[in-house]
Structure 1
Amino acid sequence: MSVTRPSPELSEYDLSDVAFITDPEAGRRWLAGPRPICRGRSFDGSQAWIVTGYEDAKQVLTDPRFTSRPPGDSHARGLRARGMPEDLVSLFDSMLLSMDRADHDRVRPLVTLAFSARRVRTMRPFIESLVGELLDAMDPAAENDLVAALADPLPIRVVSELIGVDEVHREQWLRWAQTFNGPVPPPADQLAPALRGMVEVTRDLIAQRRRRPTDDLISELIRTRDEDGGRLTDDELAALAILVIQAGHDSVRQLIALTVLTLLDRPDQLALIRSGRTTWSVALAEVMRHAAPVKHAFRRFATEPVEVGGVTVAPGEGVLVVLAAANRDPAEFPDPLVLDVTRTPNPHLGFSRGPHFCPGSTLAMTEVEIAMRELFGRFPKLRLAVAGDEVAPRFLLGVQRLPVLLD
């Protein structure tokens, strides 16, 4: 079957352009834009195929002919180009997100251990207590920034509890996580110290758990590694811990902020939840689809010629799936621009799909559901303290602050 390739001219989707990343109008154009696969640029300025249609997105995310591992040593070169210190390149090159096939099959089950249903159930009382503590600390008589008061501290403390990060280092982890929030790499003088600090604390934590195991995830990973005769290298163990902490913070942080902002903007939808006509679980799935805290998946690379959406992706070419756009594809979702907290079924791609489906999705949704139920239950008069356009999320930077009044 013959296929035609679109013009090689670049589309407007340019992740290497800071103006595009921070421009909410650019994001809105792409979320409602054309669905065919087209050309664009990724963060490093390299050309990539951009996928915005739902079926094409599912194909790329699940087709084994696509890999997360870039050709040759281009991933390591990309890390260096973004300012990664040379002595840390090998460790961060071993991240699960850039693994596939044998390496991914070896490491992925260990990540699943971190977010098992049993572990999430075990953590639920801790999450409920923590949400109560954070809400208690808010001042009902004053303006409160929900990002600083709830969206930031909740996920970093939950994931620290999961991993086994002690209280002394939690504030450090939050500062490091904030350094990496958003797609724009921080300056080298901020990047290197943050990376070295993360690695140093993680390696110290691993050494402590070797000497004195507990029931946290690091101890469990060490036990699994030793019993399996080196299932993980030391670098992979450290990289896995860092990934769980980093990924477990930012996506939840954005989902909390976006859920509040979205529901305050649509009081009719919030009323459906409060009346019991829908559940928080169903409503949050719709917020994931509509507000999209995670806008795109990590790049995939074709390992052989693959036809996607009527074009042939050549071996080695990168493909960037825009999850936020696929989740608004009218071919899959009726009235996709409309927020409908009763929408079922809702096969959104907010947590990706296929072998790199987010293993922490259940824990993330548990955190946000508890936080939203308690927040809106305790403060029924919750409202924005500023005009909505002052806190509107930027396309890839999300919500940075959310001033609200409680009473």
Structure 2
Amino acid sequence: MTDGFAEQETEFDLSDTGFITDPEAGERWLSEPRPVCRGRFADGTPIWVVTRYDDVRAVLSDPRFTSRPPGDSHLTSMLSRGIPQDVVEIFDSTLLTMDGPDHARVRRLVTPALSARRMRRLEPVVEHIAHDLLDALADDAEPDLIAQYAHPLAIVVICDLLGVDERYREQWREWSESLAVALRPDPEQVAPAVRGMAGVIRELVEQRRARPQDDLISELVRVRDTDGDRLSDDELLALAMVLVQAGHDTVRNLICLGVFTFLGNPAQRELVRSGATTINAAVAELVRYAAPVKHAFRRFATDPVRLGEVTVQPGEAVQVVLAAANRDPEQFADPGELDVTTRSCPHLGFGHGAHYCLGANLAQIEAEVALTALFDRFPGVHLAVPPAEVEPRFLAPMPRLPVRLA
């Protein structure tokens, strides 16, 4: 058994750009869930890497692991990378950095607004947006489904949900792209993006406070102003920005990975088309198999915690790899194969426990609609380039997805 960080070779190294983009390294971490081992985070600090399904669930459900590093190290780290103080303060108010009573309070206030029932009411809106985007693709000889379909669909839907005015949407899209590089944020892009989003949200808050509408900002303002457990102003701002990322980056990745995966597995796509399985089950399997979210945010031990053969000491960081847990052969039969029929074991693609993804219901619905609309409208759609040119890398997003529609 091992106590503290083991003196062993570091195989999982997020500080190495080559590792992030290396398909072979990624495949090893997807296909070989292993005991807890040593790794390195993007800033070079050591982490324990957790890849087995049961170990990942244990970390994500154990209150002895917190989202906040010890002391002020997370604030110091962001400031040292040039992130301005005012931006750091907003980031420090997000659900991603909260635990315990504060996390439970904020989550309890916002969860009803993002319930599965409420998100299902958005389905006709998502369908309308998807069909408009597909209309625009019809005359394009070789459209890029990321830039022209997955990306705009995701940003328009989340803006509609929040109530962001149409005149801001192109700018909002640029800001959200700046925030998507969470491992290595660029202060020159992140700071103006956060300030810009915060400015728009503050403006919307004042407008909705005066004239409430049927959107999420209005609901959050109501919660902020009338409920006993109120949101602070920074919490409201931070929550809206987290929802933008959850409702944009993850959804975009899920749609384009779903298209790519279905194009490589036509028999599985036919099971959906024929009604042998549901699109709901198929998207759940795509989340497991294609892994639009590869890993959760780091957790930090507050007490000594035994994980397999390792004791994680207080203050040490743990990185769970959701993508690998979802390929664990101890939990999934033939985990490297796509199987769109209902699997008996739930995937961990949206996390688990208190920090389960708030946007999971929205992501599921948007992917169902986007994939159904695309393949119904263009059943002969196929890649315009060899698959190897656009094949997803482990921790690098697909840059493009050029197709021919017939």
TM range (shorter): over 0.9
Instruction: Report the secondary structure of 1:49's partner residue.
Output: strand
Q: How does 1:291-310 map to 2 (within 5 A)?
A: 291-310=290-309
Shift of the alpha carbon at 1:205?
1.7
Amino acid at match of 1:19: G
Partner of 1:287: 286
Q: How does 1:188-267 map to 2 (within 5 A)?
A: 188-228=187-227, 231-267=230-266
Residues 127 and 367 of structure 1 are in contact (CA less than 8 Å); yes or no, is this contact kept in structure 2? yes
* 1:187/1:225 CA distance change after superposition, 3 Å: closer
Instruction: Report the secondary structure of 2:137's partner residue.
Output: coil
Residues 262 and 269 of structure 2 are in contact (CA less than 8 Å); yes or no, is this contact kept in structure 1? yes
1:233-289 per-residue CA deviation (whole Å, 9 max, x = no partner) reads 111111111111122100000000000001111112112222222111111111111
Amino acid at match of 2:180: N
Partner of 1:335: 334
Distance in 2, matches of 1:216 and 1:34, equals: 42
Amino acid at match of 1:28: E
Distance in 2, matches of 1:44 and 1:198, equals: 26
Instruction: Report the secondary structure of 2:311's partner residue.
Output: strand
Instruction: Report the secondary structure of 1:144's partner residue.
Output: coil
Partner of 2:11: 12
Partner of 2:47: 48
Greater Cα shift, 338-347 or 246-255 = 338-347
Distance in 2, matches of 1:344 and 1:192, equals: 43
Shift of the alpha carbon at 1:29?
1.4
Partner of 2:134: 135
Partner of 1:371: 370
Shift of the alpha carbon at 1:313?
0.6
Distance in 2, matches of 1:184 and 1:108, equals: 24
Partner of 1:68: 67
Shift of the alpha carbon at 1:83?
2.8
Shift of the alpha carbon at 1:343?
4.3
Residues 18 and 184 of structure 1 are in contact (CA less than 8 Å); yes or no, is this contact kept in structure 2? no
Distance in 2, matches of 1:191 and 1:121, equals: 32
Residues 23 and 395 of structure 1 are in contact (CA less than 8 Å); yes or no, is this contact kept in structure 2? yes
Shift of the alpha carbon at 1:121?
2.7
Q: Aligned pair count?
A: 406
Distance in 2, matches of 1:83 and 1:200, equals: 21
Greater Cα shift, 102-111 or 133-142 = 133-142
Partner of 2:105: 106
Instruction: Report the secondary structure of 1:365's partner residue.
Output: helix
Instruction: Report the secondary structure of 2:394's partner residue.
Output: coil
Distance in 1, matches of 2:188 and 2:177, equals: 15
Distance in 2, matches of 1:335 and 1:110, equals: 40
1:344-371 per-residue CA deviation (whole Å, 9 max, x = no partner) reads 2241100100000112211111111011
Greater Cα shift, 46-55 or 228-237 = 228-237
Partner of 1:273: 272
Distance in 2, matches of 1:292 and 1:208, equals: 38
Partner of 1:358: 357
Distance in 2, matches of 1:207 and 1:357, equals: 30
Shift of the alpha carbon at 1:69?
1.6
Residues 10 and 41 of structure 1 are in contact (CA less than 8 Å); yes or no, is this contact kept in structure 2? no
Distance in 1, matches of 2:113 and 2:81, equals: 29
Shift of the alpha carbon at 1:298?
0.7
Distance in 1, matches of 2:4 and 2:128, equals: 55
Partner of 1:96: 95
Alignment gaps of 5+ in structure 2: none
Q: Percent identity?
A: 57
Residues 87 and 191 of structure 2 are in contact (CA less than 8 Å); yes or no, is this contact kept in structure 1? no
Greater Cα shift, 31-40 or 371-380 = 31-40
Amino acid at match of 1:194: A
Instruction: Report the secondary structure of 1:137's partner residue.
Output: helix
Partner of 2:158: 159
Residues 147 and 400 of structure 2 are in contact (CA less than 8 Å); yes or no, is this contact kept in structure 1? yes
1:178-230 per-residue CA deviation (whole Å, 9 max, x = no partner) reads 12334443533223222221222222222222222222111111111211356
Shift of the alpha carbon at 1:141?
5.2
Residues 51 and 319 of structure 1 are in contact (CA less than 8 Å); yes or no, is this contact kept in structure 2? yes
What's the TM-score, normalizing by structure 2?
A: 0.96
Distance in 2, matches of 1:38 and 1:249, equals: 32
Greater Cα shift, 120-129 or 316-325 = 120-129
* 1:3/1:38 CA distance change after superposition, 3 Å: closer
Distance in 1, matches of 2:235 and 2:383, equals: 43
Partner of 1:126: 125
Instruction: Report the secondary structure of 1:83's partner residue.
Output: coil
Distance in 2, matches of 1:185 and 1:231, equals: 33
1:321-380 per-residue CA deviation (whole Å, 9 max, x = no partner) reads 000001111111111111112242241100100000112211111111011111101101
Alignment gaps of 5+ in structure 1: none
Distance in 1, matches of 2:399 and 2:98, equals: 31
Residues 178 and 193 of structure 2 are in contact (CA less than 8 Å); yes or no, is this contact kept in structure 1? yes
Amino acid at match of 1:223: R
1:84-109 per-residue CA deviation (whole Å, 9 max, x = no partner) reads 11122111111110100011011011
Distance in 1, matches of 2:7 and 2:97, equals: 27
Amino acid at match of 2:397: G
Greater Cα shift, 62-71 or 206-215 = 206-215
Amino acid at match of 2:303: E
1:78 equivalenced with 2:77 (yes/no): yes
Amino acid at match of 2:31: A
CA RMSD of aligned residues (A): 1.7
